[in-house]
Structure 1
Amino acid sequence: MRALITGVNGFVGNHLAKYLQSQGIEVFGTTSQINGTDDVSNLNIYMNDLTSELSIIKLLNEIQPDHIYHLAGQSKVKESWDFKVATINTNVNLTLNLLEAARKSSIFDKVRILTVGSSEEYGRVNDMTLPIDENVSLKPTNPYGISKATISYFAKQYFDAYGLKVVHARPFNHIGPGQKQGFVVTDFSSQIVKLEKESGDKIIRVGNLEAQRDFTDVRDIVRAYYKLLMTASRSFGDVYNVCSGLPITINSILHKLLSFSDQNIEVVIDPSKLRPIDIPLYIGNNQKIKELTGWKQEFSLDTTLSDVLDYIRKQ
């Protein structure tokens, strides 16, 4: 079996490539820049930024992948406020190029495609105390969420209109070793590791600590993606949450990370780290993917946070 991962050099792409290889799958990847894949061996990388439909068709006809995992895109909510047009172009237009190319390629009848969205597609739901399931109306509150919601509609349309075998995943917060700056766990961990190496005042600067979020280890996330594409045809044209179903406060994340350090660190709120719009409670419902695939989490939160700190300490 062959798999193509777009954005293979990213945080999730690296973990997915390693997992697929562990399943005996030959892995190919596209990227717009060669970096971040040093720890994945036997990886077939192609320079392709997905801006040309014809070049994607040529690539698909050459590789003949059975699965396509579309991970390429702009993934930061905060950055989407500053670069709205670029976020829409990168997330929506490049996805359209890929879907059109797959539709027109020689692998149209066999290939299975996973488009990756986000819990940010849901935005503010009517009852924030309930776990969010896939039937909740989409009301995204930021440009990133709008871009991912648009992708979900196109994924459904390409299945309904053309029969393309597309599944759309909506992951909630995913964390783990190798995640870049700009995400809460990595930002906290990087500050802690830096303070461990410095003398003087030990102060960590943070944003809103009261928000509750649904965190899942990236290594569990990529297994869910694989299971979705390996599942029988009843998954095509549908949407699946990938999440833990458990709310964790950002404050709990921070103090758990601090407990793994021997430093006495003071916590200070930094207004520049606050979002223009923030939702106090966000919990996902994962029953649908569990019932379809049998997926369940294998990594505890403590293990994930410890692994993130250790990864950064070794850099």
Structure 2
Amino acid sequence: MRALITGINGFVGDHLANYLQSCGIEVFGTTSQIDSRKSTSNSEIFVNDLTNEISIIQLLNEVRPEHIYHLAGQSNVKESWESKQGTLNTNVNLTLNLLEAARKSEISDIVRILTIGSSEEYGRVADMTVSIDENVSLQPTNPYGISKAAVSYFAKQFFDAYGLKVIHARTFNHIGPGQRLGFVVTDFASQIVELEKVKGEKIIKVGNLEAQRDFTDVRDIVRAYYLLLSTASTSFGDVYNVCSGVPVTIRSILDKLLSLSEQSIEVIIDTNKLRPIDIPLYIGNNQKIKQLTNWSPEYTLDATLFDVLDYMRAKNKVVQ
């Protein structure tokens, strides 16, 4: 079997490539930058920014993947406020280019495509104390969520109108080793590692600690993605939440990371880190994907946080 991963050099793409290869799958990938043709996985990587439909068709006809995992995109809520048009172009227009190319390619009848969405598509739900399932109406509250909601509608449209085998994953917060800065866990871990290298007063600056989110290890996430495309009974044109189903406070994440350090670190609130719109509680419902694939998370939160901090220390050459 062959798989194509767009955005293969990203956080999730690299983990997915490694997982697929461990399953005996031949992996190919795309990157948007010429100097980024390297991956820690042993994959053949093509430079293709997904802006040209013809070049995508040529790529698909050459590689002939049975699975396409569309990971390329802008995935940061804060950045989406700063670049609204850029976020919509990257997440919506490039997805449309890929879907159009797939339906016009020689593999349109066989290829299965996974588009990646987000819990941000749901936005502010009526009852935040109840876990969010796929039937909840979409009310995104930020440009990133709006862009991913649009992707979900196009995924369904391409199945309904053209029979393209597309499904959409609405993924809740995913964390793990290798995630870039700009996300809560890596930002915490990075600050802690930097403070471990200095003497004197140690202060970590944070945003809202009371919000509760649904976190899943990226290594569990990529396994879910593979199962969604490889399960024979997958319903194309459908949406599946990928989440743990367990709410965790940001404060408990920080407390656990601090407990893994021997340093005495003071915590202060930085108003610049607060979002324009923030939702206090988000719990995903993962029963639909469990029923389809028997998937469930295997990594504990403690294990994930340990691995994130360990990765950050190794990256910064910190010796405890």
Q: What TM-score do the two structures reach when normalised by structure 2? A: 0.97
- Give runs of aligned pairs for residues 219-234 of structure 1, distance below 5 A: 219-234=219-234
CA positional deviation for 1:231:
1.1
In the alignment, the residues of structure 1 paired with residue 184 and residue 36 of structure 2 have an alpha-carbon distance, to the nearest angstrom, of 23
CA positional deviation for 1:233:
4.4
Q: 1:233 to 1:163 in 2, by over 3 A?
A: farther
CA positional deviation for 1:94:
0.1
CA positional deviation for 1:200:
1.5
Structure 2 counterpart SS, 1:117: strand
- Give runs of aligned pairs for residues 42-61 of structure 1, distance below 5 A: 42-61=42-61
What residue is the counterpart of 2:253 in the other structure?
253
What residue is the counterpart of 2:209 in the other structure?
209
In the alignment, the residues of structure 2 paired with residue 176 and residue 147 of structure 1 have an alpha-carbon distance, to the nearest angstrom, of 24
CA positional deviation for 1:13:
0.1
What residue is the counterpart of 2:40 in the other structure?
39
What residue is the counterpart of 2:74 in the other structure?
74
Structure 1 unmatched runs, 5+: none
2:88 pairs with 1:88: yes
CA positional deviation for 1:108:
0.3
Structure 2 counterpart SS, 1:187: helix
CA positional deviation for 1:38:
3.9
CA positional deviation for 1:35:
3.3
Structure 1 counterpart SS, 2:187: helix
Contact 2:37 2:45 (C-alpha < 8 Å) held by counterparts: no
Any idea what the Cα deviations from partners look like across 1:139-158, whole Å, max 9, x if unmatched? 00000000000000000000
Q: What TM-score do the two structures reach when normalised by structure 1? A: 0.99
Greater alpha carbon shift after TM alignment, 98-107 vs 234-243: 234-243
In the alignment, the residues of structure 2 paired with residue 197 and residue 176 of structure 1 have an alpha-carbon distance, to the nearest angstrom, of 22
What residue is the counterpart of 2:119 in the other structure?
119
In the alignment, the residues of structure 2 paired with residue 203 and residue 11 of structure 1 have an alpha-carbon distance, to the nearest angstrom, of 28
Contact 1:115 1:168 (C-alpha < 8 Å) held by counterparts: yes
What residue is the counterpart of 1:2 in the other structure?
2
Extract structure 1 runs of 4+ deviating beyond 3 A: 34-38
What residue is the counterpart of 1:163 in the other structure?
163
Q: Percent identity?
A: 77
Q: 1:268 to 1:119 in 2, by over 3 A?
A: same
Contact 1:8 1:37 (C-alpha < 8 Å) held by counterparts: no
CA positional deviation for 1:36:
8.3
CA positional deviation for 1:308:
0.2
Contact 1:124 1:141 (C-alpha < 8 Å) held by counterparts: yes
Aligned residues between the structures: 314
In the alignment, the residues of structure 1 paired with residue 180 and residue 234 of structure 2 have an alpha-carbon distance, to the nearest angstrom, of 35
In the alignment, the residues of structure 2 paired with residue 87 and residue 265 of structure 1 have an alpha-carbon distance, to the nearest angstrom, of 36
CA positional deviation for 1:303:
0.3
In the alignment, the residues of structure 1 paired with residue 10 and residue 40 of structure 2 have an alpha-carbon distance, to the nearest angstrom, of 12
In the alignment, the residues of structure 2 paired with residue 24 and residue 232 of structure 1 have an alpha-carbon distance, to the nearest angstrom, of 18
Structure 2 counterpart SS, 1:5: strand
- Give runs of aligned pairs for residues 1-315 of structure 1, distance below 5 A: 1-33=1-33, 34-35=35-36, 37-40=38-41, 42-315=42-315
Any idea what the Cα deviations from partners look like across 1:244-281, whole Å, max 9, x if unmatched? 00000000000000000000000000000000000000
In the alignment, the residues of structure 1 paired with residue 84 and residue 142 of structure 2 have an alpha-carbon distance, to the nearest angstrom, of 9
Contact 1:117 1:169 (C-alpha < 8 Å) held by counterparts: yes
Structure 2 unmatched runs, 5+: 316-320
Structure 1 counterpart SS, 2:215: strand
> Cα RMSD over matched residues?
0.8
Any idea what the Cα deviations from partners look like across 1:183-234, whole Å, max 9, x if unmatched? 0000000000000011121100000000000000000000000000001244
In the alignment, the residues of structure 2 paired with residue 183 and residue 20 of structure 1 have an alpha-carbon distance, to the nearest angstrom, of 25
